[in-house]
Structure 1
Amino acid sequence: MIKVVRGNPTPEELAAALAVVRARAAAAAAGDTAAREADEWSDPARTIPRSRVPHPGPKAWRTTFWPA
């Protein structure tokens, strides 16, 4: 909800102000989505094969992050 606190804006001025607020809100929402997608893309867990899980042992650390 937008409330005019001071002044007497014309309908055109109110429409322009509302357009700016809506554009900034849309840009912020798109930015959040892009940031979330970038985080998922750079997540190292996505490069680890799901089928091969390292088993405990003396040299298990060597296969921890190596793709199959």
Structure 2
Amino acid sequence: MSTDTLLRVEKGNAEPEELAAITAILLARAAATPEAATIPRSQAGWRRLERTPGFRGPRSWQG
């Protein structure tokens, strides 16, 4: 992979030192990610709207 396409500056001009600093930060954050976050779930973290009941009570905290 070419280093020219690794990061792209959208606005302004970044010096090589600035690009190196942001690259180091991103790599450190990626390395600090807990292993549990990378294991796929067996169930979705969201619910499908068509599977929810049609009526919720007026005092319900959901929705």
- TM-score under structure 1 normalisation? 0.42
Relative to the length of structure 2, the TM-score reads 0.45
Greater radius of gyration (CA): 1
Question: Could you say which structure has the higher helix fraction?
Answer: 1
Higher relative contact order (CA 8 A, sep 6+): 1
